[in-house]
Amino acid sequence: MYFLWRHEILVMIGALLLFCQGSVWADGDDLKAQAVAKHNACLGCHAGDKKIVGPSFQDIAKKYAGNPNAKVFLKNKILKGGSGSWGVVPMPANAKMNDADLSILTLWILRGAPTSH
């Protein structure tokens, strides 16, 4: 009985650790995000530090710094596209992107889209 109890605690701690790791930006995620951006042709319109067709990722990070809704808002915006935040030029929708890719891109952009670390 005592052994089982201890075992359960260990499993819980393990699960908690796994959960924490999943929510922290891990080594290599910058590169992964960069690859996702490339793969989805984001970089044709966006660069880290200069405006192309869309605003630079660093400008986007600045604009939304400290905004608690930014993550949800931008994730949705990347998925659905639209205009109005930066001007009248619309951003195309990316309806085929999966949730994990949308999340990693959003977090990366909010960090200013570093290309290495």
In contact, 57 and 45? CB cutoff 8 Å: no
Whole-number Å distance between alpha carbons of 84 and 80: 13
d(CA 101, CA 54): 19
Site residues for ligand HEC per CB under 6 A: 37, 40-42, 44-46, 53-55, 60, 74, 77-78, 82-87, 89, 91-92, 94, 105, 109
Q: Which is nearer to ligand HEC, 40 or 58 (CB)?
A: 40
In the complex with ligand HEC, the residue whose CB is nearer, 24 or 53, is: 53
- Is the CB of 37 or the CB of 48 nearer to ligand HEC? 37
Query: Cα separation of 56 and 47, whole Å?
Result: 5
- CA distance linking residue 88 with residue 65, whole number of Å: 22
Shortest distance (Å) from residue 90 CB to ligand HEC: 6
Q: Least distance in Å: CB of 50 to ligand HEC?
A: 13
